[in-house]
């Protein structure tokens, strides 16, 4: 029971991070119908930006308040990651919009390889450890010496995810930007005829996706205390699995999927085998796509003849 509660907490934390990345996949897939393969690497780059910013803020500027430092890091990482994703869309995807459908996908794979190796070249291949921050924990239960703890950083991650999700949910559902987004999603040509700036809307989608990935990247860095150039691909695939599991195109679905994937991964590692945890994630991806392609909260598709 105590192990279970502890894993539940850990799983929800990890799931929140996956959920934040998954939103980027789901929004981009929704609006231009492509799997943005590079998104996992965008997340990885964001954690490096956060790392560099954190080092600058703490060592050069000498800010000692960890919360102030985190807030600054978060904003800076969001800004630079958004700029990067905007540029990626502009350079690698926009010229291919409406052409051969395979082309954007290949381009995205190329971009993913490029980003990972760019970071490897620029920052070196080794793990970058950061000293643990915010180490305080709340002990929830204690039995036979086994403590079930809820760390403050876990609370921060979950609260931040909830707040951001609420914010972006509002943005997509209630504002004119969200309306434009949904219109472009439905019919790009008609939306353009009705005066919606399609390019602008798609760019903004990439920017929002990247901003959320940057939050995830910062949280990941804070939680695990390490950044590595190769840490984009697998979290990226898991987040994509989350997006598909939740129902691609659906924002709450992405978060729900993220939480589920996080929980499954954590429980699988705890109760079965840690070696096969990535196999489990990939298997869930395959099984979901094969048997439940519309996801939990998505709409089923009827074959048009």
Residue 63 interacting with other proteins (CB under 8 A): no
Residue 290 interacting with other proteins (CB under 8 A): yes
- Tell me the window of 16-24, 66-74, 147-155, 284-292 that interacts with other proteins (CB under 8 A): 284-292
- Confirm if 140 and 149 have CB atoms less than 8 A apart: yes
Closest distance of CB 101 from other proteins, Å = 6
Question: How far apart are alpha carbons 212 and 222 in whole angstroms?
Answer: 15
Long-range contacts of 132-136 (CB under 8 A, 24+ apart): 132/225, 133/66, 133/70, 133/222, 133/225, 134/66, 134/222
Residue 34 interacting with other proteins (CB under 8 A): yes
Residue 167 interacting with other proteins (CB under 8 A): no
Q: Which residues in the 188-227 window bind other proteins by CB under 8 A?
A: 227
Q: For other proteins, give the closer residue by CB, 5 or 113.
A: 113
| Helices and strands, counts by H and E, the chain | 11, 4
DSSP secondary structure letters along 119-179: HHHHH-SS-EE-------EEEEEEETTEEEEEEHHHHHHHHHHHHHHHHHHHHHHHSHHHH
Q: For other proteins, give the closer residue by CB, 56 or 192.
A: 56
Residue 128 interacting with other proteins (CB under 8 A): yes
Residue 87 interacting with other proteins (CB under 8 A): yes
Candidate residues 62, 100, 144, 195; the one interacting with other proteins per rule CB under 8 A: 100
Residue 151 interacting with other proteins (CB under 8 A): no
Neighbours of 109 (CB within 10 A): 13
Q: For other proteins, give the closer residue by CB, 188 or 277.
A: 277
Residue 135 interacting with other proteins (CB under 8 A): no
């Amino acid at each position: 029971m105590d192990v279970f509660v502890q894993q539940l907490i850990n799983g929800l934390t990890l799931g929140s991070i996956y959920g934040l990345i998954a939103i980027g996949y789901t929004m981009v897939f929704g609006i231009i119908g492509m799997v943005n393969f590079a998104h996992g690497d965008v997340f990885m780059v964001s954690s490096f930006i956060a790392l560099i910013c954190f080092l600058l803020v703490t060592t050069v500027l000498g800010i000692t308040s960890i919360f102030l430092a985190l807030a600054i890091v978060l904003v800076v990482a969001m800004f630079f990651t958004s700029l990067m994703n905007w540029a990626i869309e502009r350079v690698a995807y926009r010229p291919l919009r409406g052409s051969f459908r395979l082309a954007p996908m290949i381009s995205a794979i190329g971009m993913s390889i490029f980003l990972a190796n760019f970071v490897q070249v620029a920052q070196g291949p080794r793990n970058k450890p950061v000293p643990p921050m915010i180490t305080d924990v709340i002990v929830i239960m204690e039995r036979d010496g086994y403590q079930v703890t809820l760390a403050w950083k876990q609370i921060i991650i979950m609260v931040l995810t909830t707040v951001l999700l609420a914010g972006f949910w509002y943005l997509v559902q209630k504002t004119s930007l969200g309306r434009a987004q949904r219109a472009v999603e439905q019919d790009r040509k008609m939306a353009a005829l009705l005066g919606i700036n399609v390019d602008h809307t798609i760019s903004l989608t990439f920017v929002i996706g990247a901003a959320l990935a940057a939050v995830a990247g910062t949280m990941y860095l804070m939680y695990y205390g390490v950044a590595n150039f190769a840490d984009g691909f697998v979290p990226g695939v898991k987040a994509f699995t989350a997006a598909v599991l939740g129902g691609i195109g659906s924002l709450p679905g992405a978060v729900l999927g993220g939480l589920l994937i996080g929980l499954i991964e954590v429980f699988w590692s705890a109760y079965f085998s840690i070696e096969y945890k990535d196999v489990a994630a990939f298997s869930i991806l395959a099984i979901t796509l094969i048997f439940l392609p519309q996801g939990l909260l998505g709409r089923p598709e009827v074959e048009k003849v």
